[in-house]
Homo-oligomer: A and B are copies of this chain.
Amino acid sequence: VTNLRVVFDDLVRFETVLWGEIDARLRRELDVQLGSVNAMMVIDSTPECRVYDISQSLAITVGGASQAIDRLEKAAWCVRRANPADRRSSILELTDAGHALLKKAVVVFDDELDRMIRAPLSASALTQLASALHTVRHSPTSHVQST
């Protein structure tokens, strides 16, 4: 019988270590943090990306997402452009410097994922891990909305 407390422990601690190692290498080599890279990846892959979209993709609050975008703008990696379709929000766009940084960052990111996730697992174990994580993440029990 599977001990769920052990699963929780391995899940949380591995996430902490994984995040920490990728973050440390990004800071050391490119002077950028993983949170910023994550946000830039969302902006880069989301058409007409708003602050709200960042918060949903990263599972953080809208307030936290707004502050994260503040940091990106201060570093000149992204800009808020007026949204012609809805004047309450802005459309987020990466600057040239942001695109250039992201291009280098994803190389480090992918390399670390390969080292920390792919390398230790067999091909089938990786497939099963991916499948199970996708299932629990998108399970209805994870999406209870409080109106």
The residues of A with any CB-CB pair to B shorter than 8 Å are 2-8, 10-19, 21, 41, 58-60, 109-110, 113-121, 125-137, 139, 141-142, 144
Instruction: Report how far A8 CA is from B15 CA in the complex, Å.
Output: 9
Cβ of A136: which chain B residues have Cβ within 8 Å of it? 14, 116-117, 120-121, 129
Instruction: Report how far A60 CA is from B18 CA in the complex, Å.
Output: 13
Q: Closest CB of chain B to A82's CB: distance in Å?
A: 30
Cβ–Cβ contact A15 & B12, under 8 A: yes
Instruction: Report how far A115 CA is from B8 CA in the complex, Å.
Output: 13
Q: Closest CB of chain B to A88's CB: distance in Å?
A: 26
Question: Contacts A110-B5, A113-B4, A135-B121 given: A14-B130 contact, CB under 8 Å?
Answer: no
Cβ–Cβ contact A129 & B59, under 8 A: no
Question: Contacts A13-B59, A59-B16 given: A135-B125 contact, CB under 8 Å?
Answer: yes
Main secondary structure of the interface of A (DSSP, over half): helix
Cβ–Cβ contact B135 & A2, under 8 A: no
Cβ of A19: which chain B residues have Cβ within 8 Å of it? 12
21 contacts between A and B (CB under 8 A): A2-B118, A2-B130, A4-B110, A4-B113, A4-B114, A4-B117, A6-B130, A7-B113, A7-B126, A8-B18, A10-B134, A14-B136, A15-B15, A16-B59, A116-B141, A120-B136, A125-B135, A126-B132, A128-B128, A128-B132, A132-B132
Question: Contacts A12-B15, A13-B137, A136-B121 given: A116-B128 contact, CB under 8 Å?
Answer: no
